[in-house]
Amino acid sequence: MSSAAPSPTVLQPEPLVKPGVSLHEITEAICAPVETELRKTPLGWIIGFGVSLAFLGIYLVTVVYLLWKGIGIWGNNQPVGWAWDITNFVWWIGIGHAGTLISAILFLFRQKWRTSINRFSEAMTIFAVLCALQFPLLHTGRPWVAIYWLLPLPNSMSIWPNFRSPLVWDVFAVSTYFTVSLLFWYVGLIPDLATLRDRARTRARAIVYGVLAMGWRGSNRHWQHYEKAYLILAGLSTPLVLSVHSIVSFDFSTSVLPGWHTTIFPPYFVAGAVFSGFGLVMTLMVLARQYFGLRHLVTMRVLENMNKIMLVTGTMVGYAYAMEAFIAWYGGSIYERFTFANRMFGPYWWAYWTMVSCNVISPQLFWFRRIRRSIPAMFIISIFVNIGMWFERFVIIVTSLHRDFVPGSWGYFRPTLFDVSMFLGTLGLFFTLFMLFLRFLPMIAMAELKGVTPHADPHAKEHG
């Protein structure tokens, strides 16, 4: 007699939400930080908000003094003309890329694990772009006069002196990116704002959230319009992930300066932007997950997937570093060879090797599953990623400029006190807005997260 062959074991993926969590528990967990009375605001949030406000105060003092004295208080000197401000501008723009990637591209590819972190990353995108805009606006010294030349207004110089300049492309790219990201974030918030409206315990809250919810009632027609608008905005946002940082890279690659004039910059900048964006999302998400008790909603599977993306993009960035150095050697240009040798072994060697250690070496630890699923390890590595990506922008700008073609004009760039205070001030601006977001808006998309739970699947029993 022949016995029936045993059926093969089917490995089920780890659930996106901890098993046994009901839809009501999801609502309560996400609404709890928002619905806490002001007089009962957690002490940890108050301390964090106070520190953020202190750094925001540094920003305001620096800006007032900058407008009073001029941009000479920054370290913008020859030959390092761009210096600190453009370094921070590109760094902040890069951080904002993770929100659009998580929200738009992963949504179009139907990656359900994004539902736990998309709202979080979208908010981070909005605030990061606002911080980035401070630098091109304030570097003019007198924005109340210079804003006339920054906007595409008809004037005596035919709109812009050089309309084909990559700096002009930045205006269109960044403003479009900010507008679409803001709409995408707000549209996704509408169902959750209606939930807060219906649960409001005071009339003021009901009015505020009611106005923001735009009359949402959760009807079939409302959901149809919502899903259609969300899909359209996701389709519009997807090209922006590639275009915005590619255009930022054109600021460098369309020049003839050794170290900048390279065709690898657009994909290299895009990969680096996604890499740095995921690094900051991981840093903030781990803290919020632990502090607000959201471990049952943001599961280890979600964090592990983020670590895998950081591993891939970090490897791409490392490949770009290697290709830059190889082409500089293979191309035969003595100036390119000198620039990269100067980066590695010149006065700023410490910045270059810090960049390589943080961006290339540290993410490779994610090949090991134990590290990939360790909260302390992923938190520390994500901080290294944030540091390394800032040093990448510093290395690209400063080491390519501080020694130009004329040795008599060589110099060593040192940031001034106001360079540092401006950067710390934008960090204060970012975290002030972010703390307000955590306190008054749902940090996780309730409606989307509920849609990936077994309760939302009418065939859950059939699927086992």
Note the pLDDT tens digit of each residue in 68-127: 888 888 887 777 877 788 899 889 988 887 777 788 888 888 888 888 888 888 899 899
Q: How many CA atoms lie within 13 A of 363 on its CB side?
A: 31
CA 378 to CA 286: how far, in whole Å?
Answer: 9
Cβ(184)–Cβ(237) below 8 Å: yes
* Burial class of residue 316, CB neighbours in 10 A (0-12, 13-18, 19+): middle
Q: Please indicate, yes or no, if residue 459 is contained in any of the structural domains.
A: no
CATH number at residue 40: 1.20.1630.10
Provide the number of structural domains found in the chain. Answer: 1
> How much is the pTM?
0.90
Estimate the crossing angle of helix 23-35 against helix 166-199, to 10 degrees. Answer: 110
Give per-residue pLDDT as tens, 37-49. Answer: 888 888 889 999 9
- State residue 246's pLDDT score: 85
**Contact (Cβ atoms closer than 8 angstroms) between residue 120 and residue 285:** yes
Q: Is residue 15 part of a domain?
A: no
Q: Which amino acid does the sequence have at 340?
A: F
- Span of 52-61, 201-210, 236-245, 270-279 with lowest mean pLDDT: 236-245
In a domain, 52, yes or no: yes
Mean pLDDT of all residues belonging to the chain? 86
Q: Is the pLDDT of residue 29 over 80?
A: yes
3-state DSSP assignment of residue 98? helix
Mean of the pLDDT values across residues 238-243? 82
Q: What is the DSSP letter of 168?
A: H
**Distance from C-alpha of 431 to C-alpha of 311, rounded to nearest angstrom:** 26
Q: Per mean pLDDT, which range of 140-149, 216-225, 332-341 is the poorest?
A: 140-149
Q: Is residue 4 part of a domain?
A: no
pLDDT at 17 over 60: yes
Residue spans of alpha helices (H) in 101-219: 106-108, 118-138, 143-150, 166-199, 203-213
- Which residue range forms the structural domain that includes residue 56? 23-453
Confidence check: pLDDT of 156 > 60: no
Determine the pLDDT at residue 157. 54
148: pLDDT confidence band, cut at 50, 70 and 90?
Answer: low
Does residue 12 sit within a domain? no
Q: How big is the chain, counted in residues?
A: 464
Evaluate whether residue 150 is within a structural domain: yes
pLDDT of residue 1: 47
Q: Establish if 240 belongs to a structural domain.
A: yes
Q: How far apart are CA 229 and CA 221, in angstroms?
A: 12
Rounded to whole angstroms, what are the CA distances from 451 to 110, 288, 445? 12, 22, 10
CA distance 458 to 375: 34
